[in-house]
A and B are shown apart, each in its own frame.
Chain A
Amino acid sequence: MTTDTLNQTIAPAGDSLGRDAWRRLSQNRAAMVSLALLGLMALACFLGPMLSPWGLAEVDWNAFSSAPTLEGWHLLGTDANGRDLLTRTLYGGQISLSVALVATFVSLVIGVLYGAISGYVGGRLDNLMMRFVDIMYSLPFMFLVILLMVVFGRNIFLIYAAIGAVEWLDMARIVRGQTLALKQREFIEAAHALGVKDGKIVTRHLIPNAIGPVIVYVTLTVPKVILLESFLSFLGLGVQEPLTSWGVLISEGTESMQTEPWMLLVPSVFLAVTLFCLNFLGDGLRDALDPKTR
């Protein structure tokens, strides 16, 4: 039998796990509504600005600090510099969402590899690697991230890599736990017996089997990263003008909330809805993928 036919005969069994999880997830109304809303949010943020008559930094000289109005199509008003708030919020969403994805991906790669190696090799190396994680856990992280921002202030992608680089600890622990349980199983032993190299066993056999809890944790990391990014931007340490993000907009809104409350409310609502949906989706996925609730 060639490997192709082998894969074909094995594939349905592997698929059904995912399909089962999907079936359970689709029965969870809150999670499905959240998923749809998140899709809409992403579409709006990435396609919406193209439909808008206003640009990111384009000034409407007839409308400074305008309340939401149909005149000039400022559906959600303008800021103190006459820039369209809806357009800016959508552009800000692009930054916030892409940051979340990049940083989560970084944390995913570091955490999964670190955890899988630590758990698979075991022994003294495992001990050493986990002590390191323990030390990292007790660091006052927010402060170190703020320091990182000060150091790399001008390069946003470096910053997001930095956020990702500090968010991988939980992921590493989860994957290590999974790996420890999995490596006792027969199929790993079989792979050993067939002479598969250690590196390949980790990447081809261990990691794919530990993926369930990892997916759940990813959905919980995304809102954490969005929150972290807006927190930093709010303090004036995140993205720089002319770029903007939800945190920056909220911070600007705070300054003028007495006279122009919509400037605070609009980005806050976008941020809150996104975080809400991600939390619901994360809860839903946990229920769907947790074998104990089956």
Chain B
Amino acid sequence: MLKYTLKRLLQAIPTMLVVITIAFFLMRVAPGGPFDGERSLPPQIEANLMAAYHLDEPLWQQYARYLGNLVQGDFGPSFKYKDFTVTELIMQGFPVSLEIGGLAILLALLVGLPLGVIAALRRNTGIDYTVMGLALAGIAVPNFVIAPLLALVFGVLLQWLPAGGWNDGALPNMILPIVALAVPQIAYIARMMRASMIEVLGSHYIRTARAKGLTETEVVWRHAMRPALLPVTSYLGPAIAGIITGSVVIEQIFGIPGIGRYFVQGALNRDYTLVMGTVVFYGALIVLMNLIVDLIYSALDPQIRYDD
């Protein structure tokens, strides 16, 4: 297991290098620079600024310098948020994004899994059709539509919850963004869980379990649940990636001070270092999450051993 983990971590290095390289050079061919303001700066000052941020060096030298700093964990200073390093900005935003995203994943599992199981057990009944219809709606309606609609209904019309704002992470402010992030994932998870549960319930060892007189509850919990969870587990990697991307719009809509907002603002402002920093950070996060998901998968499935 340890050997496998190390191997995967080593494999992540070229992936991250590709991410960094693409992001670095794309950002530099973009027209406009970080110091294009309302009025143009005097040439002397601009030259000094460029020199201070090493923007006057040849591109390959800047690239090498960036990689060198990155290895030491230094994302560089932000161009737009003066007096802040990118590391500081990310560390400010990440706890917020993590809280929202983590709770959204949890909610998606807590709602999606039971819905899928119920739909599978009550196959081709009204309950099944209702759940699957709702799931399709959850997939077809993007979360940047769901989020404003939730804010409209619960924030504006009913006035139960605040329609936006963060308020230092007060619970009422978190509910709507978390639900909006979780809805598409609930839909996917419910669909996958239903399909895999139906497949497992049709297999021979379930027939054997029934034949030896186990109750339906025992069959489902003791024998069917674990294998049925496998496909859903492997979906967790994409689900986490989906929630991370979703958080970009959700944070924008609800005005949440997380990383997603920095990313969009940074891209629009040509804040090279901030955009690079968020891309690298999220890239590393997604790679890491995929590894963790694979390890969980192997723990659930006795047929998979990573030792050799």
Contact = CB atoms under 8 A, between A and B. Distances in A.
A57 interface: no
Most chain B CB atoms below 10 A, which of A140, A236, A271 = A140
A253 B145 CA distance: 10
A261 interface: yes
A147 B148 contact: no
A118 to B, nearest CB: 19
Q: Bin the interface of chain A by size.
A: 35 or more
Nearest to B143: A231
Nearest to A271: B145
B262 to A, nearest CB: 12
Interface in A141-156: 142-144, 146-151
Contacts of A264: 148-149, 152
B249 A231 contact: yes
A5 interface: no
B144 interface: yes
Contacts of B31: 151
A230 B146 CA distance: 14
Instruction: Name the prevailing secondary structure of the B interface residues.
Output: helix
B23 A138 contact: no
Interface stretch (A37-45, A99-107, A197-205, A272-280): A272-280
Contacts of B29: 151
B30 A150 contact: yes
Contacts of B282: 140, 143
A129 interface: no
A138 B287 contact: yes
Nearest to B281: A140
Interface string B4-25: 0000000010110011001100
A234 interface: yes
A235 interface: yes
Interface residues of B, number: 45
A276 B140 contact: yes
A228 to B, nearest CB: 10
A279 B188 CA distance: 13
Most B C-beta atoms less than 10 A away, residue of A150, A151, A272 = A150
B274 interface: no
A146 B142 contact: no
Contacts of B248: 142, 235
Nearest to A145: B245
B267 A150 contact: yes
B140 A272 contact: yes
A254 B142 CA distance: 14
B249 A276 contact: no
A234 B275 contact: no
Which of B244, B253, B267 neighbours the largest number of chain A CB atoms within 10 Å of its CB? B267
A251 B142 CA distance: 12
A128 interface: no
Interface in A254-270: 254, 257-258, 261, 264, 268
Nearest to A275: B140
B55 interface: no
A142 B245 contact: yes
**Smallest CB-CB A-B distances: 9 pairs:** A275-B140, A142-B245, A276-B140, A254-B148, A151-B30, A268-B145, A147-B26, A272-B141, A140-B283
17 contacts: A135-B15, A139-B22, A140-B282, A144-B26, A144-B279, A147-B26, A147-B27, A147-B30, A150-B268, A151-B27, A231-B144, A234-B249, A235-B249, A254-B148, A257-B152, A268-B145, A271-B145
Given A138-B287, A147-B23, 7 more contacts: A139-B22, A150-B30, A231-B144, A261-B152, A272-B141, A275-B140, A276-B136
